[in-house]
Structure 1
Amino acid sequence: MYLFEQYTFYKLAHSLVEKDDFEILHINESGQEIWLEKYENRTSHVVRLLHRGFDWKNYLKGDIRTAFQKAKAMRRFFLGKHIEIHNVYISTNSPVDDWYILKKPMQLNEKNPMKMKVYYLSEAEKDVELSRLQDAIGSSNVTISAEESELDMEEKVEYFRSQLDINLKNKKNEAESVFSNGKPFLTYFLLGINIIIFLLLELDGSSQSTETLIKFGAKYNPAIIEKGEWWRIISSMFLHIGFLHLFMNMFAVYYLGTAVERIYGSIRFIVVYLLAGIGGGLASFAFTTNISAGASGALFGLFGALLFFGLIHKKIFFQTMGRSMLLIIGINLLFGFMVPQVDNGAHLGGLVTGFIASAILHLPGLKKMSMQLLALILYVVIILGLIIFGIQHNLNSPSYQLMKVEQLAAVQDYEKIVEITTTGLRNPDDLADELLFQRSYAYVNLNEVDLAIDDLEDAIQTNDEFAEAHFNLAVLYYNKGQEKKAQERIKKAYQIKPNGDNIKKLYDQIID
């Protein structure tokens, strides 16, 4: 009977793999225990086949506990959120005592518990238990008959065993091959380039100096729109603001870059990196008017590349990096929404365009021209959309107008400052006080003092804690001989900012 048990064991395993699309997770060294999985509707149906008998119920219960422990250890290999284990024993005789209570479905007392059903394919109940198993997992019917000769069964046992071994070996080879399409040479090159440029920034002034960042090619929207310096979208990818920013991004480049370059190969890796960086940079241009720099868009593009890999090789993805990768992406995006200084536009733009860029190139050895062409069209549409929307959004943004004012103040073009701040005030937001303050400064230099006073009065109506506006009003009123109003404004300015040198000096001058 031992031969027939082996025949039943291996034929059932072979049938589940070949006919019912189960995947082999593990075969033990003796070949007497096989774990299989099939993922459907967010549920992993896990079949554990064991060629072994138990004389007593307590021994069987002990092995069921062992099966639960093994399943918990293998949990990261299961795709489904819900796990149903079908624990199948194959032996000539079932336990001699009342073991049937163990057929009742059982589960661990924990969150998202694994559920288990037990089946015992003994000589007396083989057909009934096999039918119960097949109904539970939706398997095609397989007939296992003892009428075949011993020679035929021996040959088929050897055949089934060899096919299962080949299947498992091919699966391991496939998993290894997807991570061996390239060596991370370009990842190390990117690390070196970013570090060298950071050192140049520091030597030229400071990586945290706005002037130095603009000089080296940071994303600066006025220069992009007014001067056509679109190259800043690319150059800003290689600039970092402070050592911590550099360290965090380079750590991510190393961690993500080595994985993506090994999966996609060096050429695909650098193309995805650049296309995602451009997408992230343009998203930042479209939605964020502040000066910005950093590899964040490109880095999130590498996240996108790994997500595309997960779409194609779902099982390998979740068995290696999937859940932790999704958690990291979620944390970073949540952090970006919670912290105003983080350029979340670049993050989201890089993530989306990195995913699409990966679809354009696809994985090595795989082609799907219709999908790749559609992805290319989608990428172009997104890029053009970000450019068109970004230009319009910036031109109508008060913060963009303020950035232009800073440029014009450096060349003392006060009439243009009045024009630009007036345009910005047509769409007032929380920067209205700043626009009024800048226009008042321009009016002073154009000898339009009354207009300057009007703007400053409006500015403090908008923001009564604007110390500089109170100070400038005090100066203008004092120069016009309106000492009472000047005293009122300088008192307020001193109350808000008592340590301001100019404020304290004027306060001491006009307050008795």
Structure 2
Amino acid sequence: MVFRQDYLYWKTIEQLVVVHQFRIVQISQNQSEVWLESAKKKGPSLIRLLRYDLDWGNWMKRDMEDTARKVDTVRKKQYKRNLDALNVYVSTYPPVDEWSDRVSEPLVIGSKGQTNLQTVVVHSENVQTTLQSLSALLQVDLAIETEGFLYDYSVIESLKNRVIGVTNQRVKQEKDIFTYGKPYFTYVFIFIQVIMFALLELKGGSTDTENLIAFGAKENFLILQGEWWRFFAPIVLHIGMFHLLMNTMALYFLGTAVERIYGRYRFLLIYLLAGFAGTLASFVFSPSVSAGASGAIFGCFGALLFFGVVHPSLFFRTMGSNVLIVIAINLMIGFIVPVVDNAGHIGGLVGGFIASAVVHLPRQKRYMKRLAALVLTLVLTIGMLYLGFKVQPASGDPRYAVTIAKDHIEAGEINEAYQVLTEVNDKDLQAEYYFYLSYTEFELGKLEEAKKHLEIVTSKLPDLHEGHYNLALVYTELKEYDKAKSSIEQAISLDPDNDDYHSVLEEINDLSEGSE
């Protein structure tokens, strides 16, 4: 009889592990207790099997409560809202006292019933009915022969060896998933971005906007002018030492992990496509000059998320919770800190996820799914390019209007610049907009309009000496010499070494004296 229950215990484990792909989470030293994890969407996620000859129901009650607490601890560690578990006792005989009421309903832990433990007792008197119940609870077909079978020691050992052998093989396969490739391009990109940072510093500084633009930083108007390579160049440029250090550390840890999982050439495509997607999103949604590997690095996060979709159980057992938390923290920082280009981060995250779906994981063909991901990539890319090149410049957005107007001004096309600026219909306009609008108005002789707009500029940006200088010129043309003198003196206080400002002050003094 004892051998029969031992056989049932190991045959059930063998069926669940070998046939139905359940995973052994833990096995006790004497092998009498085994914890399994189910990958099925329905049914209990955790299964505990205990080979123990029950004596008293009170002991079973205490053991059930202790097991439920362990399951609740697992739920909290995995950040799950709810967790259902199954507790199976395999006993030669049922407890000698009353026990059936204790297993009639699940044992619930938590004020909101987050953890549910269903208990089943398999004993010599209820084998067939209990196996049927287990099959229903676990959503599997437990094909276990219980009648007319010789339950000797060799059969049980054979079942044990098969279970342990299959488990060891799967552990090896999981380890192989994380060691498919050796990091190579991660180190190449780290080397390139360090070299580019050194060149930036030698040529004028990595925080100098003009220098960054010269080296290929994302600048929307230049992209609109056809400099498409600026979608990729920002990936290896960084603004300041802190920016470089943070992104280099992130690339080292994330890049090596992704490259080991996907292999070097898949990683290369994911990284470049994610970097492009991040820059493209920044081009569409942010007017600021930007640079950095952040979009591509978020693409590595996207690659890990795709890995989590393909291998959800393995993902959450290894890195899943940490990856989700880090992504959430970084995106939150991006929404709180204005200088962070969150559009680039989100674009890189999405781009990395979709790029991973296109190349997919090693040894997995999935051609139709990869084709669908490629089509989605093309559709999103074309749509974003259309927004960036066609919709945004014609939208009356002051960010684009100022950029286009500056180009017209440099070409001496004042009327064209004025027309572009006056077509803007945004009510919450920035000082930069009014500065360039006032310049065109001054050049076209619209002095009252120029004065009104420059007064807005100097009130919003009191430290902009060019604004005070231009306002002094407008006041001079309007023969408001006292105001002109006050404005040019303010400009000189902000930029005392500017000879042009001193010359204008002398001219205003002369005009003021001549008018008396």
Report the TM-score range of the alignment, normalised by the length of the smaller protein: 0.7 to 0.9
Kept after mapping to 2: 8 A contact 1:302/1:351: yes
The whole-number CA distance in structure 2 between the counterparts of 1:108 and 1:53 is: 26
CA distance in 2, matches of 1:299, 1:79: 25
Q: 1:457 aligns with which of 433, 437, 452?
A: 452
Structure 1 consecutive aligned stretches of length 4 or more whose deviation exceeds 6 Å: 76-80, 502-506
The secondary structure found in structure 2 opposite 1:231 is helix
Match of 2:107 in 1: 106
Q: For residue 208 of structure 1, give the secondary structure of its aligned residue in structure 2.
A: coil
TM-score after normalising by structure 1: 0.85
Superposition pairs of residues 90-169 of structure 1, within 5 angstroms = 90-103=90-103, 104-109=105-110, 113-140=114-141, 142=143, 145-151=146-152, 154-169=153-168
> Does the aligned pair in 1 maintain the 2:408–2:416 contact within 8 Å?
no
2:424 is the alignment partner of 1:423: no
SS at match of 2:479: coil
Find out whether 1:71 has 2:68 as its counterpart.
no
- Name the residue aligned to 2:380: 382
- Structure 1 match to 2:312: 314
Partner-residue secondary structure (3-state), 1:89: strand
* TM-score (structure 2 length as normaliser): 0.85
Q: Alignment partner of 1:47: what SS?
A: strand
| 1:294 equivalent in alignment to 2:292 | yes
Match of 1:337 in 2: 335
What SS does the corresponding residue of 2:148 show, helix, strand or coil? coil
The AA in structure 2 aligned to 1:13 is I
Answer whether contact 1:437 1:456 (CA < 8 A) is retained. Answer: no
In structure 2, what residue type is equivalent to 1:84? D
**Which residue number in structure 2 is paired with residue 401 of structure 1?**
401
1:16-415 pair list within 5 angstroms: 16-17=16-17, 20=20, 22-41=22-41, 44-72=44-72, 74-75=74-75, 81-103=81-103, 104-109=105-110, 113-140=114-141, 142=143, 145-151=146-152, 154-226=153-225, 228-396=226-394, 397-406=397-406, 413=411, 415=412
Structure 1: distance between partners of 2:173 and 2:190: 30
Distance 1:178 1:118 in 2: 35
Q: CA deviation at 1:110?
A: 5.8
Does the 8 A contact of 1:10 with 1:161 survive in 2?
Answer: yes
Counterpart CA distance in 2 for 1:161 and 1:125 is 24
Unpaired runs of 5+ residues, structure 1, are: none
CA contact (8 A) 2:43 2:137 kept: no
Q: 1:392 to 1:431 in 2, by over 3 A?
A: farther
Instruction: Check 1:138–1:366 CA distance in 2 against 1; reply closer, same or farther (3 A cut).
Output: closer
SS in 1 for 2:24: strand
* Structure-2 separation of matches of 1:356 and 1:251: 24
Identify if the C-alpha distance between structure 1 residues 476 and 36 changes in structure 2 by more than 3 Å, giving closer, same or farther. same
2:46 touches 2:84 (CA, 8 Å); kept in 1? yes
For 1:479 and 1:455, the matched residues in 2 are separated by 11
Is the 1:441–1:452 contact (alpha carbons within 8 Å) kept by the matching residues of 2?
no
Post-superposition offset of 1:298: 0.7
CA-to-aligned-CA distance 1:299-349 (integer Å, 9 cap, x gap): 111111112211211211111111221222223223323333222221222
Change in CA separation of 1:42 and 1:202 when aligned onto 2, cut-off 3 Å: farther
Deviates more, 1:135-144 or 1:367-376: 135-144
CA distance in 2: counterparts of 1:128 and 1:377, whole angstroms: 52
Displacement, 1:160? Answer: 2.7
What is the distance in 2 between the residues matched to 1:236 and 1:253? Answer: 15
Q: Report the Cα distance in structure 2 between the residues aligned to 1:242 and 1:462, rounded to whole angstroms.
A: 29
Superposed displacement of residue 172, structure 1: 0.7
CA distance in 2, matches of 1:87, 1:122: 14
Q: Is the 8 A contact 1:43 1:81 kept in 2?
A: no
CA contact (8 A) 1:287 1:393 kept: no
Cα distance, 1:61 vs. partner?
3.6
Amino acid of the structure 2 residue aligned with 1:121: V
Give the secondary-structure state (helix, strand or coil) at the position aligned to 2:4: helix
Q: How has the CA–CA distance of structure 1 residues 87 and 264 changed in structure 2, closer, same or farther, with 3 Å as cutoff?
A: same
Amino acid at match of 1:108: I
Q: Residue 35 of structure 1: SS of its match in structure 2?
A: strand
- Is the 2:75–2:81 Cα contact (8 Å) retained in structure 1? no
1:398, 1:194 → 2: CA distance? 33
Separation (CA, whole Å) in 2 of partners of 1:206 and 1:98: 81
Within 2, Cα distance between the matches of 1:421 and 1:342?
Answer: 32
**Aligned mates of 1:374, 1:142 — CA distance in 2:** 39
Q: Distance in 1 between matches of 2:390 and 2:151?
A: 81
Number of paired residues?
Answer: 497
Would you say the 8 A contact 2:398–2:433 is kept in 1? yes
Identity %: 35
Judge conservation of contact 2:258–2:267 (CA < 8 Å) in 1.
yes
Note the alpha carbon deviations across 1:41-67, whole angstroms, 9 max, x for none: 476432211111232334334433443
Q: Give yes or no for contact 1:134–1:141 (8 Å, CA) kept in 2.
A: yes
- For 1:7, the equivalent position in structure 2 comes to 7
| Letter aligned with residue 207 of structure 1 | S
Amino acid at match of 1:115: N
Q: Distance in 2 between matches of 1:475 and 1:170?
A: 82
- For the Cα contact (< 8 Å) 2:69–2:109, is it kept in 1? no
Alpha-carbon separation, structure 2, partners of 1:166 and 1:76: 31
CA RMSD of aligned residues (A): 3.4
Give secondary structure in 2 for the equivalent of 1:364. Answer: coil
- Report the 3-state secondary structure (helix = DSSP H, G, I; strand = E; otherwise coil) of the residue aligned with 2:25: strand
Work out the CA distance in 2 between the residues paired with 1:215 and 1:466.
27
Q: Secondary structure at the match of 2:413?
A: helix
SS where residue 177 of structure 1 aligns? Answer: helix
CA contact (8 A) 1:42 1:80 kept: no
Deviation at 1:372, TM superposition (A): 2.0
What is the rounded CA distance, in whole Å, between the counterparts of 1:77 and 1:168 in structure 2? 23
Q: Which amino acid aligns with 1:300?
A: F
- Whether the 8 Å CA contact 1:88–1:119 is kept in 2: the answer is yes
